[in-house]
């Protein structure tokens, strides 16, 4: 990502926490598993836009294709056709650890004492360096798999640990032995030549669900991916659970006790609105966040508009609760993905307009409430307020359906460092001034949590509260070390 503030708007239009990855797996004899995975990844594209990959197995050998870019840019019929078999694992990636280059694309592939493993990971480990030291102890300098090919991710380290597991009798046993040593957030979908596996860390930071096809089974980051391929939702993979899927169907074993701490940011921004997490619809949560925001921060205004698309359900909730009409004030270019083309100087000056453009006839002369889901660095909101003023808004009242983000995430969301988070240095009035709004209101932590209907004790809220479910050492991070606190 570029450091220049405006350039960031163009290259990384969200200017907010980016989720690391989406994972998908299928076990379905007689089905075109590569195509099912392609469409599953298509549904999960919002979770990662830097690279995409699919591995398949016919029971004897694993084939893999992956590359940089969106799912639709990486795959065509010619790539999918050779990916035959009845098992598949797929992945879309946004880099949080390791650079954004081909070697770090997933699924990772590596040899093990029991065959080959292809693995996709959503999350972020906080003890990667310690695990890497263990890999070097076990395997020496002769690294295999993606590590040997120059990958630098925590995912490659997990794959290497499985590869060096010659003191176990099977991949299942190796996974049960290794998973408890991983610290942090990990939602894994992996396979060897004959079996599909899915695992979720004991906190269940990231979602993972099991679905049923007429001819088999599916695991996916979000329920929306099940809907899109016609699978029915069966249940969530439990925190601390390893699921093994083969001819005998799914079999569950535990590698740790569950201590659920689902990421609340999934409800705020990350997950698709048509996904359900822990039985709660994401759209309903966002809508309720907007309603709570209207109760907590009312204002006299003519229209409520959203920053599309992630702010839309909360903006509708704000409008419903306040009685102020909802209007479409901004048009989003739905086709802006991640571009690797450097913008021209003129485009840099246009800022976020590549993605959002105001509807002058809706905005001119109006007192506007604009609802967004979060403020991370504040760059997008500053540019947005300027854009709305240029379009003739009489007043601009910014309402945010999450509290100020004051702390970094070490569990799979690529927020800025603490110093770059606008709310870590400024209070609400100062942020309001910095982005140039007339007024600014954030939902309270209590309001946000209540809107999910999930008990606070089962949620991670660390980026808002600083209360990390797993102890972390910020000083170690500043020194370039893993955040994990030594035990």
Q: Is 432 annotated as a binding residue?
A: no
Q: Considering beta carbons, is residue 256 or 330 the nearer one to ligand SF4?
A: 256
Stretch that binds ligand SF4, among 65-73, 91-99, 259-267, 288-296 (CB under 6 A): 259-267
Pick from 60, 59, 162: which is nearest to 107 by CA?
162
461 binds ligand SF4 (CB under 6 A): yes
Q: Shortest approach of ligand SF4 to residue 78 CB, angstroms? A: 38
463 binds ligand SF4 (CB under 6 A): yes
The site that binds ligand SF4 (CB under 6 A) totals a number of residues, namely 12
Q: Is 409 annotated as a binding residue?
A: yes
Q: Shortest approach of ligand SF4 to residue 16 CB, angstroms? A: 11
Identify residues 152-211 at the interface with ligand SF4 (CB under 6 A).
205
432 given a catalytic annotation: no
Q: Considering beta carbons, is residue 36 or 463 the nearer one to ligand SF4?
A: 463
Q: Considering beta carbons, is residue 17 or 250 the nearer one to ligand SF4?
A: 17
462 binds ligand SF4 (CB under 6 A): yes
Q: Which of 126, 409, 437, 440 binds ligand SF4 (CB under 6 A)?
A: 409
Q: Which of 54, 160, 264, 289 binds ligand SF4 (CB under 6 A)?
A: 264
Q: Shortest approach of ligand SF4 to residue 462 CB, angstroms? A: 4
411 binds ligand SF4 (CB under 6 A): yes
Q: Shortest approach of ligand SF4 to residue 266 CB, angstroms? A: 7
Q: Which of 242, 460, 472, 484 binds ligand SF4 (CB under 6 A)?
A: 460
Q: Is 457 annotated as a binding residue?
A: no
Catalytic residue among 12, 15, 21, 377: 21
Q: Considering beta carbons, is residue 362 or 448 the nearer one to ligand SF4?
A: 448
Residues annotated within the binding site for [4Fe-4S] cluster are 263, 409, 460, 463
Which parts are annotated binding residues for Mg(2+)? 310, 372-373
Site of interaction with ligand SF4 (CB under 6 A): 17, 205, 263-265, 409, 411, 413, 460-463
């Amino acid at each position: 990502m570029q450091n220049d503030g405006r350039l960031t708007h163009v290259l990384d239009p969200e200017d907010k926490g980016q989720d690391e990855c989406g994972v998908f797996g299928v076990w379905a004899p007689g089905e075109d598993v590569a195509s099912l995975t392609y469409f599953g990844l298509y549904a999960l594209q919002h979770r990662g836009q830097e690279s995409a990959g699919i591995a398949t197995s016919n029971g004897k050998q694993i084939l893999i294709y992956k590359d940089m870019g969106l799912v639709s840019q990486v795959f065509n019929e010619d790539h999918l056709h050779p990916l035959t078999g009845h098992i598949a694992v797929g992945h879309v990636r946004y880099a949080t650890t390791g650079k954004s280059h081909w070697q770090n694309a997933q699924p990772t592939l590596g040899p093990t004492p029991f065959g080959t493993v292809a693995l996709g990971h959503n999350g972020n480990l906080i003890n990667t360096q310690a695990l890497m030291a263990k890999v070097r102890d076990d395997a020496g300098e002769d690294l295999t798999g993606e590590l040997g090919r120059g990958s630098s991710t925590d995912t490659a380290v997990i794959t290497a640990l499985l590869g060096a597991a010659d003191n176990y009798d099977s991949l299942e046993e190796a996974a049960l032995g290794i998973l408890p040593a991983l610290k942090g957030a990990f939602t894994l979908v992996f396979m060897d030549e004959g079996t599909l596996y899915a695992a979720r860390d004991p906190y269940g930071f990231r979602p993972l669900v099991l679905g049923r096809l007429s001819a088999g089974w599916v695991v996916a980051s979000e329920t929306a991916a099940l809907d899109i391929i016609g699978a029915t939702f069966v249940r969530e993979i439990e925190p601390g659970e390893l699921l093994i899927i083969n001819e005998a169907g799914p079999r569950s074993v535990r590698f740790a006790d569950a201590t659920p701490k689902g990421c609340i940011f999934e409800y705020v921004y990350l997950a698709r609105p048509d996904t359900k997490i822990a039985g709660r619809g994401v759209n309903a949560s966002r809508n309720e966040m907007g309603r709570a925001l209207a109760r907590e921060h009312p204002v006299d205004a003519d229209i409520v508009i959203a920053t599309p698309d992630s702010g839309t359900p909360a903006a509708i909730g704000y409008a419903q609760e306040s009685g102020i009409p909802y209007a479409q004030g901004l048009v989003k270019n739905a086709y802006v993905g991640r571009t690797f083309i450097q913008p021209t100087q003129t485009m840099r000056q246009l800022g976020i307009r590549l993605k959002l453009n105001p509807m002058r006839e809706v905005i001119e002369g109006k007192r506007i409430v604009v609802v967004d889901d979060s403020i991370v660095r504040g760059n997008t909101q500053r540019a947005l307020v300027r854009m709305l003023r240029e379009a003739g808004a009489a007043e601009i009242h910014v309402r945010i359906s999450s509290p100020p983000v004051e702390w970094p995430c070490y569990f799979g969301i690529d927020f800025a460092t603490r110093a770059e988070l606008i709310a870590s240095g400024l209070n609400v009035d100062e942020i309001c001034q910095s982005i140039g709004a007339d007024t600014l209101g954030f939902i309270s932590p209590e309001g946000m949590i209540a809107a999910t209907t999930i008990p606070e004790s089962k949620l991670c809220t660390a980026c808002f509260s600083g209360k990390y479910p797993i102890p972390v050492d910020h000083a170690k991070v500043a020194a370039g070390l893993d955040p994990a606190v030594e035990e």
